[in-house]
Structure 1
Amino acid sequence: MTRAQEHLTECSVQLAWENGETTGNEVIHAEMDDLMDEPHVQYLSQQFVAELCNAEDTNNPLNAEIERVIFNAHPRDDRLGASSFAELLELQLEGSHQKRRRHQETLRKASNDLTAERVRKAGLTALVKERDDKDKALQQDKRDRTLLIPKGNEERAKRLELVTQAAEHRRQLVERAQRRVQTLMHLESDVADFRDRRAPELLGEMQKERQDTGLSADEWNLLNVDFVGDVDSLLKARKADARALVGRLQGPADSDPAVRPDADPTVPLIADDADLSKQTLSLLEREVARLNQLVGADQNKVKRYAALTDKINKAETSLGKIDEQIKRAREADEKIDALIQLGVASENGK
């Protein structure tokens, strides 16, 4: 190799500083070409440096320059088609942002549920007091009703109370079955709404957010959401069962005595040894009406007795609902703990 070739292949870069010191480094010729193509050292004025360092917002020139350097440091093949640092950052963080939004939604719902449970717990004392007051009024109504029973009709009054309680229990079963029919109808509406509106919306959102998947329309349809199994037949069958149950509970049954306008009120419609829990509601109500006629000494007392009986039945139903609310309020602590744990998990990104 000649001396000229050595000079071109390897040379020294020297920098002279203001204090008189000189520094340098040996570089090969290829590296020198890179240095000459793009400057690696640039003078910055004091004013420019002060402007960069004193800027307080995120859009200051210093941040912009740092972002430019970081963006240019990424090879073009790794930029995912982005033309700026902000665009590349958004592409890189898209999954994290979606995950955060899902956790935020879970946290929001848990917060609302937590508030509801705390309100329910705070109302426990008032519920217990309300139940005690209603129970006292109920017992007083029962005592008042007893005073309307003429001497000698105590056995009939006792029988009337038993039949009335059986009728009220049967009525609650009928109402529960009717609510089941209504709930199943609402569930059928929910299924139709999910298929017709919510599922297409969900698929549309995925298509909008994932436009670059390259999936065809037929392939996207494979991602459409639907219920597992034949839910239509299931709901139809359950609705028919619930309606049949309403009919069996409510009556009249084929075995019930026929309704006669000239029936003797002294003849029982239900035998004394019959299981009252297996009688239809319509027959129990007829037996209650028959016994009401026999218990009262006169028509006014019969009406008062019937009115008190109706009031007592409603009060007992109301007490049952309050008991359910009390039970639910006493379970609030456990649900509050579970919701707090769910919130902690969402905050931690789990």
Structure 2
Amino acid sequence: MKNLKIASIPGDGIGKEVVPAAIDVLKAVSDVHGGLQFDFTEFPYSCEYYLEHGDMMGEDGIDRLKEFDSIFLGAVGNVKLVPDHISLWGLLIKLRREFEQVINIRPAKMLSGVQSNLLNPKDFDLMVVRENSEGEYSSVGGRIFRDEDEIAIQNSIFSRKGTERAMRFAFELAAKRRGHVTSATKSNGIYHSMPFWDEIFKEVSKDYPSIQTDSQHIDALAAFFVTHPEKFDIIVASNLFGDVLTDIGAAIMGSVGIAPAANINVNGKYPSMFEPVHGSAPDIIGKGIANPIGQVWTAKMMLDHHGEEEIGSLLLDVVESITHDQIMTPDLGGKHSTIEVTDEIIKRLKEQV
């Protein structure tokens, strides 16, 4: 019997609606699997927690969370209560950095029955591997002077170790898929970091002779995500470039509400964290229509991470069966509630026994 200790952080907004829904689905997965059990512990870390305690997760948050096998996060952010730079750097980014979650993975594929925003999506199935610890999201920089003389400086940090690590992860992933890696660059405009990125990509590619490669400038690559997404398998990108590309990936799928993500610790020292892309969605809080698929698909990625690929694939197949049958929330053009979609996923999972 495998027992996974999972720290659940619903967080803000619809996170409090979709995380419990996905946990119910994972409990059903456990019923179906038989040899897999989950031990969930919920933590109240959120913007409301910040207002009460003056900290997004408390001084002992890292020490408490590091004891778990994985972290299952819903959403972070409520700009009406706490500025984004405080909420994100105090919880989401803090967890990524403290737990050395150096790789971010975000898949994008057509789900049967879901209407893409593209006229002809051609059944694309791609995955972005995003360097998650440095790059353009470095905290190095500062502000000086005032008024019209004020200057803000933001430094991008690209280490050989971090860059190569992300690229090797991408190549290893491509070897399990369709054997192609695209590098997102901008060496025709960014003078130092992107030529450095390109050089390391060429070096790493020599260790994977069976993997096909190409390199695309980020502006053209963003356009190709819209015009020819079916041509891509694995895309490896810097922190900023990967962030932008994956939002495009969510958009062409049909809704950001179905997009999953994983923040991976590759050295095994700390837990990895799994979170959907959609955020706290303040416009639909409490309406009962938040799409649970993004969180459920994220749960599938957590299962994969723990070596349960077979049951993870079954879960995604079940999700795709309900979208095929048009059992969907309003963001996908459906008429069903969060609970109705969740209950149907659970019902179909249990029918697999």
TM-score (norm 2): 0.20
Larger radius of gyration: 1
Structure with more relative contact order (C-alpha pairs < 8 Å, separation 6 or more): 1
Instruction: Please state which structure has a larger fraction of its residues in strand.
Output: 2
> Normalized against structure 1, the TM-score is what?
0.20
- Of Structure 1 and Structure 2, the greater helix share is in 1
